[in-house]
Amino acid sequence: MTNTMHYKGYTASMTFDAQDKVIVGRVLDIDDILTFHGESVAEFEAHFHAVVDGYIAACASLDSAPEKPASGRLMLRVSPQVHAASLKAAALSGTSLNRWAERALRTASRQAASQKETAA
């Protein structure tokens, strides 16, 4: 059993709060904080839909694109030389090209975030 619900490409966590006797939800995998709750699954689902629809509408009224969760799929176009070098590097490390590229992207994104924090 999963404790998540999906709507329009967004995923919400579902946690039962025994003290307040409500199901508490939060939209996952985006930086914006969207929370809601419901006393039943039906009410939880209705509030989840309303929060997502409200978020999309608010972004539209601000002429801003709503943040969407990443799918985990990434299509890249690189030069044949970079592709060949990456295949060799992955083979040398004993991993697939996907795993090698994921590690390289993770390292690069952490370095970029660290540099941004240092500059701030």
Given a cut of 80, whether residue 36 has pLDDT beyond it is yes
The whole-angstrom separation of Cα 9 and Cα 68 is: 7
Q: What is the pLDDT of residues 63-91, one digit of tens each?
A: 999 999 988 888 999 999 999 999 999 99
Q: What is the CB-side half-sphere exposure of residue 119 using CA atoms within 13 A?
A: 6
Confidence bin at 8 (pLDDT 50/70/90)? very high
Nearest Cα residue to 34 out of 2, 1, 71, 5: 5
Measured in degrees and rounded to the nearest 5, phi and psi for residue 35 equal -125, 160
The domain spans of the chain are 4-61, 80-119
